[in-house]
Amino acid sequence: MYRLRLEEGEIHLRVTEATQELSHSTGKMLRRLEAEAELARDSRRGEDAIAGLEAAIAGDQPVDLVDEGDVVIPFQISQKRMSYTSGSPERHYVLELTETESIDCTDLVIDSRSFGKPLGYYEKVDAIRTEQGDELKALVIDAKVRLTEADLGWLWNHKGRSDERYFQVVREGVSTDPVQMRYGRIIWDRKDDDLRASIILVEGTYDLDPDHRGPPPLQRPEQLQMHRRFLDLEEQMDRLLKLMAEKGVLTPDEASTVIEPDRDARWRRTLSLFEVDDIDEWDR
């Protein structure tokens, strides 16, 4: 007999089905249970037990399940169905329970570059469906890391490279198996000399789901507007410089100097677009 341990007391469960599935996060085998519980609103204790169970079902936090060997294991709980007879205090619950696991990343390694133990770390596994109808899973990571100036430069050069979109990510302390991922979003902040970044990484299989791909950048309204305004600004700048050269305000050589791009300055301006006051304000 399994026992569900709640603040309101323990609820006895009768397990009707037990299976195992491989964790996409850690590669460990996790238990999945279907279980039944019989409760009654015929006493204060029964009322409290029902209230506690329904709160656990509605919540998103794992609950403690005590197995037949008195081992306490965290499980995520959901209600499959509930039935009762009109006028009867008894409630019959059919529950689904999925074993959860503790995730503690001790070092985030992106394409062989170590970023150390994250300041904050969250990961989830999304179910996806390919165009062929195959059901797959995709890992999504949201990590906050402390950076050096060299780390920040490496991140942006790595994100901006055009030769390879995907790369290997290792989550030490979670799994030693590398996962092929890409960047989702990177933002960063600076407080005095302390540099931090919030990095979202997405497993490559995520892009096999046509619903997740989204339109190409220049089909997104905001990106198309930015593109048009940039072209307008470039045209206006060309006309202005030509007019200033014609009027003798600038020499042709000086006008050419203005037009000549400064690649370092462009890189710094691009980097500044993703700087925020506080990355903590951009939490999930």
Q: What pLDDT is recorded for position 214?
A: 55
pLDDT, one tens digit per residue, over 125-171 is 998 899 899 999 999 999 999 999 999 999 988 988 767 889 999 99
Residue 48 in contact with residue 71, Cβ under 8 Å? no
Q: What pLDDT is recorded for position 103?
A: 92
Q: What pLDDT is recorded for position 213?
A: 64
pLDDT, one tens digit per residue, over 208-253 is 988 876 555 545 565 667 777 877 888 888 888 888 888 888 887 8
pLDDT, one tens digit per residue, over 167-209 is 999 999 999 999 999 998 899 999 888 999 999 999 999 999 8
User: How many whole angstroms separate alpha carbon 100 and alpha carbon 58?
Assistant: 17
User: How many whole angstroms separate alpha carbon 186 and alpha carbon 153?
Assistant: 12
CA separation (Å) from 273 to 152, 189, 250, 277, 284?
Answer: 14, 11, 31, 12, 20
C-alpha triplet 130, 133, 137: angle, nearest 5°: 50
Q: What pLDDT is recorded for position 87?
A: 85
Average pLDDT in the chain: 88
pLDDT, one tens digit per residue, over 68-121 is 889 999 999 999 999 988 889 999 999 999 999 989 999 999 999 999 999 999
User: How many whole angstroms separate alpha carbon 199 and alpha carbon 41?
Assistant: 49
b/e burial code for range 70-103 (CB count within 10 A of at least 16 → b): eeebebbbeeeebeeeeeeeebebebbbebeeeb
The CATH number given to 107-213 is 2.40.30
Residue 197's DSSP bridge partners are 145, 188
